[in-house]
Amino acid sequence: MPPEYTEEGRWFAENLQPHEAMLRAWLLSRYSSGVDVDDVIQEAYMKVLKARKSDPVNAPKAFLFATARNLALNAVRYAKVRGEDIATNIDDCHILDDRAGVHETVARNQELEVLTKAIQLLPDRCRQIFTLRKVYGMSQRDIAKKLNISARTVNAQISIGVNKCADYVGRFCETGEV
């Protein structure tokens, strides 16, 4: 990376620019006509950089994609108002989430990333037991039977998994990184 980059330029080059090809392909697959993908990407970059000035952006890729999606959707809506025929049917895009705004969606995705990382860092057996119990909802008795171990071992491993995940998430919340 060239030394003349500012801190903001360095952040952009590390956190946003690597996703441009994927973002472009994603936009083109959903908005093949009627949306200027280059404009959407540039405006998304500007909005993410502007948002970063007021609040830290902890999940830049997710925030970039959500911002670009909203900009593209706005372009589709604007084109419809102007009477232009765009091949994209808004109802088929599956991009509207009436339950949460962009910030909530990004925050939820970041929380899932952190929790996933915490679970991945558990020891193998602990991760297996924790996943069977917390993700698949299996009873401790069924897990013990399936893995041919005692119910006490299952209980102990779940406790260890919960404590380690809580510690990891706690460290992330304090520092923003782990």
pTM over 0.75: no
CB-count burial class (<10 Å; 0-12, 13-18, 19+) for 165: buried
Residue 27 lies in a domain: yes
Domain count, the chain: 1
Q: Is residue 84 part of a domain?
A: yes
Give the list of residues 6+ apart from residue 71 with CB closer than 8 angstroms, or none: 40, 43, 44, 47
Q: Over the stretch 102-134, which tens digit does the pLDDT of each residue have?
A: 666 676 777 778 888 888 899 999 999 988 888
Within-domain flag for 169: no
Decide if 128 is inside a domain: no
Q: Which residues contact 168 (CB under 8 A, 6 or more apart)?
A: 114, 117, 118, 121, 178
pLDDT digits (tens, 9 = 90+) for 47-78: 989 888 888 888 888 888 888 888 888 888 87
Is residue 15 in a domain? yes
Q: Is residue 34 part of a domain?
A: yes
Average pLDDT of the residues of the chain: 80
**Which of 106, 88, 114 lies closest to 175, judged by CA?**
114
On whether residue 53 sits in a domain, the answer given is yes
Task: Give how far Cα 11 sits from Cα of 31, 49, 57, 68, Å.
Answer: 28, 9, 11, 18
**In a domain? residue 101:** no
Give the whole-angstrom CA distance, residue 68 versus residue 52: 15
| Structural domain for 86, as ranges | 1-96
